[in-house]
Chains A and B, each alone.
Chain A
């Protein structure tokens, strides 16, 4: 059933692309219907498969002569991420309700991107996974380049090229794995059981990990992320931070770690405590956590704060993955979900609710506007989202980051210590942005203050309220009762870490 999420998204994209111009309202409602259906299928699939392991959805030969099969399957990790994609898609459509220019094209690219993302999470054939992964690149480019803001053409091209370079690295790994396995199959399960020589895994693992890691915001290959997030229209930022970065992290887990586990074996020598690729990537992840947080602290543009916070939070995901401990990897997957929801919420508040009314994202200018009084909905929403982002108990981020940190402590205690600094700085930048944007007590100078009082902002619209409520509910439910997802994630992670993906 879950396979239909992919089909209806692409079918929806095709219909929207062929829809005559000038039917913006129709396009919106159609896109909402498609994404809600996708989400509903995701929820139904999640509930139905509760307690089950890997369920094969479709498995037919695709390119028979090369042993490539069209294999869609879902284990606990896939189901959670499909759920996230559904959420992000619905919220993205709701927060794009005000797109007036080339509306049907916008939603066509949007749904094509969503379809590609569903496809990646559900593919159990490496080749198919790669195809969906690349399908997701092109719509991102057009979404940002056509409907974006600040330096959009630059940001879009940068994002496209970074993604494409990453996927080229993955392609090399895929070709080499295909050639070396000699098993005449590109199925993930078949390749995981192919017993690749350790010497091969030693170079394939870092290649594929970095290839996917580029999209997951792995430091120092993260620079596409802040510019891309800032330039993108709100819905695209929500998708970029919400699900596209997760594609990278998912690839790191499913392909790099799943297929080439011996790539993380010790080299046999060490330099400054770095003795394996695992240590290298843990170090990069920790640097990403601290660096992202520190840079976020220094931003003057509200959206850049969120953009860099994404780099920091994705650092936790990558750190959790390379702990290779059950609890750490589980935490990483949960953090993917959690960050997807929270970053989506933050981008929606900053990019849509605030920016569309104030037409500025500069913190220095927002400071003068007394948004806390004039836009109470946005202020309260940001307070809650900010608390979730800081990782306060009761929100999904807390459970996820705690697990990652515990996993890191078991693996190497200093990772936890360093990542802890990132959390503290994380509180600081969120607080700073919150205070400056909404609760500044800086009085406007007389010439800034309009004589007739502040003009009224446009009222908050129903799609904004619905989208905010949806995402907030998701982070709260998972925060209060994380077992709802953990029951699904834990067995899948256990199977994956045990090798062979069975």
Chain B
């Protein structure tokens, strides 16, 4: 293994990095004197091309992943959930870049696009990482990018405030994460995910090391922060509110996809821990067996923690969203509640790829929808309204197309069929119940369904202003054609994927077919 191998294996990441440097170079060297929108256009175009190049490079390295020199341990995985998440990250990154067109919150367009691409690189890394060190490096690469992006609207005090809050919380949670990782290394003697999990195996509860719990709580704090799970969610409303819209869309979609891909990686490794030992020990979590008692060590403690996070996120996220008067904060709390549903799927994971696919389906479609939602908010903000609910009054009279797009997106977030958000929920809950049809699994699914009934109220509060209540100002609202195009494409995708849910499912199943 040499650097040429490393280069080949990380080809998509390299494509993004090269593009980010190229974007900076083009912007600084050739376009210094050009008009702002020209620079935005060229930077966005380059960025999207970079994402496309990475997408093309993706299948070229998919031959089982990168391994340590002289060892069989995988450092970066490929195929399966990794491939799906990476394609999702690249696609969603391109969409968030397109939202930049027409915005004027910054003069430093080249830097913005470069940072987005670097953060996306971090996302690609953590959705493939199988080693604690790579996970940490990738996470930091992603997080540092996000802090910078949050602060990018230099003329806005809110942006700076949000960024400093986000940064302080983030730094602290990274410290927790690293601390937890160090305990895991100490307990198991390896930084490789699979070796570590195997090293933590104990046949009896009495032999469990108490330190493991400490380590897992620390890690939950670190990763819970990334996915904005209660009680590590405090940064989310402020960041969603303060960050410039394209950056907020990036944080709400790409960063979530990457972080959940990482969690899927951890869960997959935990549920497949004995696979490497030759004959499969029967740990498949069937209906009749008691899955908990089979493998003590990492998994059941991790499951308990995830359940607690999911429970708190679903309840608090939905209830807090009821009281919001800012649409961005509302989206933040709704993101917290959606994270809660997904964490439930991670807690009740399946040995087969069913859970992983259901979670990816959920997070990818959620990311798509939420980019659209932030795009719509951005259009209203640019028309001078801000993000208060009342800025949306009578939108149907001011821009009918935008109003229809918002109806599709918000109803999809609420989980109304036949939109894609409903299928995501159904898929996820069905995956949980397939494995745990009684007891805690069923009870928590009941709670999740009940909570999603609550969520309809606050999504309808927004739509009520858009469609029902009279407009204060009936002047037509102009929107940038590129932004509108992106929004319409997203809305159509939400409808089409919702009417034909099999499309995305069979596409995903294709990545698992060879495994």
Contact = CB atoms under 8 A, between A and B. Distances in A.
A161 B457 contact: yes
B344 to A, nearest CB: 13
B467 A165 contact: no
A64 interface: yes
B418 interface: yes
Interface in B426-459: 426-427, 429-430, 433-434, 437, 442, 445-446, 449-450, 452-453, 456-457
Interface string A231-259: 00000000000000000000000000000
Interface string B443-486: 00110011011001100100010011000000000000000000
A176 B444 CA distance: 12
B502 interface: yes
B115 to A, nearest CB: 39
Interface of A is mostly: helix
A141 B460 contact: yes
Given A62-B502, A64-B506, A165-B453, A176 B417 contact: no
A146 interface: yes
Interface in A156-174: 156-157, 160-161, 164-165, 168, 171-172
A424 interface: no
B411 A138 contact: yes
B509 A175 contact: no
B434 A63 contact: no
Contacts of A161: 453, 456-457
Interface in B376-418: 404, 411, 416-418
B457 A179 contact: no
Interface stretch (A83-91, A129-137, A355-363, A427-435): A129-137
B290 to A, nearest CB: 18
A168 B452 contact: yes
A61 B501 CA distance: 11
Contact of A63 (B416, B422, B505): B505
Contacts of B445: 172, 175
A168 B449 CA distance: 6
A17 interface: yes
B333 to A, nearest CB: 18
A146 B468 contact: yes
A6 interface: no
A377 to B, nearest CB: 34
Nearest to B441: A179
Given A65-B502, A171-B449, A178-B433, A164 B468 contact: no
Interface string B154-183: 000000000000000000000000000000
B293 to A, nearest CB: 22
A130 B417 contact: yes
A64 B411 CA distance: 25
A17 B437 contact: no
A131 to B, nearest CB: 4
Given A131-B418, A145-B468, A172 B449 contact: yes
Contacts of A63: 423, 501-502, 505
Contact of A64 (B449, B467, B502): B502
A355 to B, nearest CB: 21
B426 A175 contact: yes
Interface of B is mostly: helix
A164 B415 CA distance: 10
A164 B456 contact: yes
A180 interface: yes
Nearest to A186: B430
Nearest to B503: A63
B430 A179 contact: yes
A161 B505 CA distance: 30
Contact of B456 (A145, A146, A160, A175): A160
Contacts of B457: 157, 161
Contacts of B446: 172
A66 interface: yes
B285 to A, nearest CB: 14
Contacts of B468: 142, 145-146, 153, 156
A175 B423 CA distance: 12
Nearest to B453: A168
Nearest to A102: B396
Contacts of A134: 416-417, 422
Contacts of A138: 411, 416
A62 B416 CA distance: 18
Nearest to B433: A179
Interface string B85-98: 00000000000000
Nearest to A144: B468
B365 to A, nearest CB: 14
Contact of A168 (B426, B430, B450, B509): B450
A122 to B, nearest CB: 16
A179 B350 CA distance: 14
A157 B322 CA distance: 14
B509 A65 contact: yes
Nearest to A127: B426
Nearest to B442: A176
Contacts of B449: 168, 171-172, 175
A141 B410 CA distance: 14
B460 A157 contact: yes
B502 A175 contact: no
Contacts of B450: 165, 168
A160 to B, nearest CB: 6
A171 B416 CA distance: 12
Contacts of B464: 145, 153, 157
B404 A176 contact: no
A175 B429 contact: yes
Contact of A179 (B411, B437, B506, B509): B437
A142 B467 contact: yes
A165 B457 CA distance: 11
Which of B449, B452, B501, B509 counts the most chain A CB atoms within 10 A?
Answer: B449
Nearest to A207: B446
Contacts of B453: 161, 164-165, 168
Which of B418, B426, B467 counts the most chain A CB atoms within 10 A?
Answer: B426
A175 B437 CA distance: 9
A178 B417 contact: no
A160 B461 CA distance: 12
A139 to B, nearest CB: 11
A162 to B, nearest CB: 10
A180 B411 contact: no
B434 A179 contact: yes
Contact of A180 (B417, B437, B501): B437
Interface string B223-257: 00000000000000000000000000000000000
A161 B506 CA distance: 34
Contacts of A172: 445-446, 449
Contacts of B442: 176
A66 B423 CA distance: 11
Nearest to A137: B416
B433 A176 contact: yes
A278 B506 CA distance: 43
A206 to B, nearest CB: 14
B418 A146 contact: no
Contacts of B411: 138
5 contacts: A63-B505, A131-B418, A153-B468, A161-B453, A175-B433
Given A153-B464, A157-B460, A164-B456, 14 more contacts: A61-B502, A63-B423, A64-B502, A65-B505, A131-B418, A131-B422, A145-B468, A153-B468, A161-B453, A161-B456, A168-B452, A176-B442, A179-B437, A180-B437
> Nearest 5 pairs between A and B by C-beta?
A179-B433, A131-B417, A168-B453, A179-B437, A145-B468
